[in-house]
Structure formats: structure tokens, C-alpha cells
């Protein structure tokens, strides 16, 4: 059975960096599930479609190709907002669910980060982390990242965006962002990225020992 590492949590919590480092450590393929929704949102926007139209967003999800996930535009603040809007549509989530579950089933294992991996995509994953941090800390991280990319944006604006996305992601009817009952909570508010990764690694090692998934 594939050893799936599910890394969930809100925006700018550090889950993406942690997931990437875990994938490199164990030699597993990595899927940033948020890119799928960013890809759908960007596709709708580029085609001049209505992000709130379920049928339009679903058609974009069904037509999404893996190669489209390489677009640099997907890493922008605007793409994140687009993703959050199309992710509320149940048919969109259903269209992307099978893609994610096929990815998760790869042997010998995989790492997937998102908001509903441990609860919906891979509920049987032996290693589950829920990575979070205070809204203020996450806003500061995202603000610094965007400024570093050359975007002119105010911290207060980013904080408002973070809070709005948390409410939208946690309040949607289908697959809301929530900590799985058996996920280990990792609050990175007061941690450096190296400290957060080390804590995550120890969580995964405990899960590997429990499942018997150790080098032999």
C-alpha cells in the first residue's frame, strides 16, 4: 500500500514548503493540490468566463491538463483568489478529486498538500499533518513573499484576504478546510521553516514506524 503523506492547512501556513521538503526527503512525488484550483480559476478568467458560474468552472476543471500547472501566473496573489472562488463549487471539486486520488495511490508513496487531503482525498493516509499559524503571521509571510516578487501590496490588504479565504475555505458546503480527527496539529507561528520541517519530519517518522513503513 502506498504511504501517503497528507499535509493540510490554510494559506501561508508553511504547508507547501514543508510538503516539498518531505517529498525530497523521502523521494516521493509531490502534488500541490492548490495548483489544480488555481489552474481552473485562471483558465476561467483567461477565457473571460464567470467564476461564480458552476457549469463554466466545472468545464474548465474537466479540461484542465497537467501541463497547464506549470504556468508562473499560478503562483500570484490573483490566482490564489481565483482558486478560492472556484473551489466552492462541488462539481469542480468532484472533477478534480479523481486526479488527486490517482496521484495519491502511487507506489511507494506520495506527498499531497491542500485543504481536504486528510479528510476527503486520502482519509486513510497513514501520515496526516494539519499545518497552521495565526492569521497575522500568515499575512506577514505572504506579504513578504509578494513584495519579494515585485508586487506592490499593503500588509493590511493581505491580512484581509487571508481572513476572507479562511472563512470561504472553512465554510464551503463541500469538503471544507478542517483538521482531520487523526491529523497531527503543527502550529508554525513561532517556528522558523527549518524548525517546522524538523517537527513535520518527526511526525512522519512516527507514522512510518507505526505503519511499518521503514527502510529495510
Strands annotated E in 146-202 = 184-187
- 3-class DSSP state for residue 111? strand
Per-residue pLDDT in tens (0 to 9) along the chain, 216 residues: 899 999 999 989 999 999 999 999 999 999 999 899 999 999 999 999 999 999 999 999 999 988 888 888 998 888 988 998 998 899 998 999 988 998 999 999 999 999 999 999 999 999 999 999 999 999 999 999 889 988 889 999 999 999 998 998 888 877 889 999 999 999 999 999 999 999 999 999 999 999 887 654
**What whole-number distance in Å separates Cα of residue 56 and Cα of residue 91?**
10
According to DSSP, residue 74 is labeled G
In a domain, 215, yes or no: no
- Could you check whether the bond before residue 108 is cis, i.e. omega within 30 degrees of 0? yes
- Between the CA of residue 38 and those of 6, 27, 52, 69, 174, what are the distances in Å? 19, 25, 14, 8, 18
Q: In what order do the strands lie in the sheet with 184-187?
A: 30-32, 109-114, 3-8, 127-132, 184-187
In a domain, 132, yes or no: yes
In a domain, 186, yes or no: yes
pTM for this entry? 0.86
Helices and strands counted in the chain (H then E):
8, 5
| C-alpha dihedral sign at 9, 10, 15, 19 | positive
Q: How many domains does the chain have?
A: 1
The closest of 197, 161, 200 to 78, measured between CA atoms, is 161
Strands annotated E in the chain = 3-8, 30-32, 109-114, 127-132, 184-187
User: How high is the pLDDT of residue 214?
Assistant: 66
> Which residue has cell 499533518?
129
User: How high is the pLDDT of residue 216?
Assistant: 42
In a domain, 44, yes or no: yes
In a domain, 119, yes or no: yes
Which CATH number goes with the domain that contains 116? 3.40.50.300
In a domain, 107, yes or no: yes
**What whole-number distance in Å separates Cα of residue 100 and Cα of residue 111?**
11
In a domain, 216, yes or no: no
Domain that holds residue 167: 3-209
In a domain, 171, yes or no: yes
**What whole-number distance in Å separates Cα of residue 176 and Cα of residue 113?**
15
Amino acid at each position: 500500500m502506498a504511504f501517503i503523506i497528507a499535509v493540510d492547512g490554510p494559506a501561508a501556513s508553511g504547508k507547501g514548503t514543508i510538503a516539498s521538503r518531505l517529498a525530497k526527503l523521502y523521494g516521493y512525488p509531490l502534488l500541490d493540490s492548490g495548483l489544480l484550483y488555481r489552474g481552473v480559476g485562471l483558465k476561467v478568467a483567461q477565457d473571460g468566463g464567470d467564476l461564480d458560474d458552476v457549469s463554466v468552472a466545472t468545464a474548465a476543471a474537466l479540461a484542465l491538463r497537467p501541463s497547464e500547472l506549470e504556468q508562473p501566473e499560478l503562483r500570484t496573489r490573483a490566482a490564489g483568489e481565483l482558486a478560492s472562488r472556484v473551489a466552492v463549487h462541488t462539481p469542480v471539486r468532484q472533477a478534480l478529486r479523481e486526479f488527486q486520488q490517482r496521484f495519491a495511490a502511487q507506489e511507494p508513496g506520495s506527498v499531497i498538500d491542500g485543504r481536504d487531503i486528510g479528510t476527503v482525498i486520502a482519509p486513510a493516509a497513514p501520515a496526516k499533518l494539519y499545518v497552521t499559524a495565526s492569521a497575522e503571521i500568515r499575512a506577514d509571510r505572504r506579504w513578504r513573499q509578494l513584495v519579494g516578487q515585485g508586487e506592490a501590496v499593503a500588509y493590511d490588504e493581505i491580512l484581509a484576504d487571508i481572513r476572507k479565504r479562511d472563512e470561504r475555505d472553512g465554510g464551503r458546503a463541500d469538503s471544507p478546510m478542517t483538521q482531520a480527527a487523526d491529523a497531527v496539529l503543527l502550529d508554525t507561528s513561532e517556528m522558523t521553516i527549518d524548525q517546522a520541517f524538523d517537527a513535520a519530519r518527526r511526525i512522519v517518522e512516527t507514522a512510518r514506524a507505526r505503519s511499518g513503513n521503514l527502510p529495510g
